[in-house]
Structure 1
Amino acid sequence: MRPLAELRDADRRLTRWTISWDSRWARRVLPVVEGAAEHTKLWWAAAATMAAVGGARGRGAAAAGLAGTAVAELLAVPMAKRLYARRRPPQEWITRGEAEDRPDSSSFPSGHTAAAFAFTAAVAPMWPTAGAACAVPAAMVAAERVHSGAHYPSDVAAGGAIGLTAGALVRFLFQGYPGT
C-alpha cells in the first residue's frame, strides 16, 4: 500500500502546483480552450473543417474523429465514472474563481481529455497533418483540466489512456475507409 500512498501524495502535490501556476498565458488561453471543448464543440468544429476542406480523406478523418469521441465518452462517462467515484480537488486549493464552475460528477477519469485524445488519435492515422494540429488543443485541454482544479493529473492521464484506446479501436473499425 505504500507505493499507492506515495503516488496519491505525488498526484496531490502536482495538482496543487499546477493550480497555483499563475501565468498570464494560462489565465487567458486555457479558459478559452476549455469553453471550446465543452460538449465537444471544438471537435465538432474541427470535424466540420476537415470534412469541408479535406475531400474524401477529410471526411473520413472527421468521421473517425467523431466516432472516437463518442466511444471515449461512452467509456469515460457512463462506465468509468460510475466504477470509481473520486472527489475533485478541494475547492480551497483553487485561488481563482473557477471552483464554482466545476462539475459535481466523479473526478476520475477526465471525460474532456478522453474526448480530446480520442478525436486526435482517430484522426492522426487518416490525416497526419490534421492529427498534429488537433494534438495541440488536445494537450491544452488536458492541462486546463488540472490547472482549473477540475481534475487530478491521474484523472487526466486515465482520460488520455481511454481516449487513445478509443482512437485505436475506431482506427481498427475504419480500416478500408477512404483515406486510410
Structure 2
Amino acid sequence: MSTPKTSKHKAAKPRDAKPKAKAKDGAVKKAASKIAKVDREVTHTMAQGRDTPLMKAVAFLSEAADQPPLIAASLGTFAIGLATRRADLARGGARMLLSHLLATAAKNAIKHRIDRTRPAAALEQGHGKFEPGHTHDHDENSFPSGHTAGAVAVALAASHDIEGAALPAALATAGVAAAQAPTGHHYLTDVIVGGAIGWAVESVVSNVFDRFEPKVEAAIRETAS
C-alpha cells in the first residue's frame, strides 16, 4: 500500500495586519500633527494684531453671535411672527431657536471633552495645549468655535423660511467666522469644525421640522388667532 504524497508547498501563513495598521496609524498621526502645526502658526500670525483698536472693535461686534443674542433674535423673530400673523417669521424663529439650542449642545459636548488653549492665551503664555480634558476654564475651551456653530445654524435656519434673509445672514455669519482667528479667540480649525457642527445640526433639524411643518403651521395659526 503506497503512502500519500505530501505537498512540497507549505501553506501560506496569513500576513500579519498589525504592521500595516501601525504604519497607517502613524501616517494619520503625522498628517494630523502637520495640520495642527500649520493651523497654530497661521492663526498665531493672524492674531498678532488682536490688541489693536480695530480688532477689539471686531471682537466686540462678533459677540452678536454669542448665545444670548442669538436666542433673543430667534425668540424675537418668533414673537413678531405671532404678533403680525406672519407664518414665515414664526416658523423661521422656531427653526432658528431649535437649531441654535441643539448646535450649542453639540458644541458643548465636544468642548467638555477636549482642552485647547485659545490663541490669545497661548501667545501670552508662550505655550498651549490641545488634548483630551474636562476643564471649564474659558482660556482652555477654544475647540470648537461656539460662535461659528451658532451663527451658521441660525443663519441657515432663517434662510429656509424668511424671504430675503439668506444673503444678510450669510454675510453676517461669514463676518463672525472670519473674526475669530484675528481676534485671538479661536484657531482656524476651531472655526471649521464649529461651522460643520452648525451646518449638520441645522440640516437634521430642518429635515425633522419640514416633516411636521403642516402641524406646526396649524399650531401657530391657532395661537395667533
Both proteins in one fold, TM over 0.5: yes
Q: Runs of 5+ in structure 1 lacking a partner?
A: 95-101
2:107 maps to which of 73, 76, 93: 76
Code of the aligned partner of 1:4: A
Once the 2 structures are TM-superposed, how far is the Cα of residue 59 of structure 1 from its aligned partner? 1.0
1:135 aligned residue: 170
CA contact (8 A) 1:50 1:59 kept: yes
1:3-57 CA-partner distances (Å, limit 9, x unpaired): 11220111012212321357875443x2232232233314523652475268110
**Paired residues for 1:158-173 under 5 Å:** 158-173=193-208
Q: Runs of 5+ in structure 2 lacking a partner?
A: 1-28, 125-136, 218-225
2:41 maps to which of 2, 9, 13: 13
Q: Tell me the TM-score normalized by structure 2.
A: 0.65
Structure of higher CA gyration radius:
2
Distance 1:32 1:82, change over 3 A: closer
Higher RCO (C-alpha 8 Å, min separation 6): 1
**Paired residues for 1:38-57 under 5 Å:** 38-42=66-70, 44-45=72-73, 48-49=76-77, 52=80, 55-57=86-88
Query: Is 1:3 paired with 2:45?
Result: no
Q: Where has structure 1 moved over 4 Å in runs of 4 or more?
A: 21-27
Distance 1:75 1:24, change over 3 A: same
Query: Is 1:36 paired with 2:64?
Result: yes
Residues of 2 paired with 1:16 and 1:105: CA distance? 16
Identical-pair percentage:
28
Provide the secondary structure at the position in 1 that maps to 2:116.
coil
CA contact (8 A) 2:78 2:94 kept: no
Once the 2 structures are TM-superposed, how far is the Cα of residue 90 of structure 1 from its aligned partner? 5.0
CA contact (8 A) 1:43 1:66 kept: yes
CA contact (8 A) 1:57 1:127 kept: yes
Q: Count residues with an aligned counterpart.
A: 169
**Paired residues for 1:141-152 under 5 Å:** 141-152=176-187
Please give the root-mean-square deviation of Cα atoms over the aligned residues, in Å. 2.6
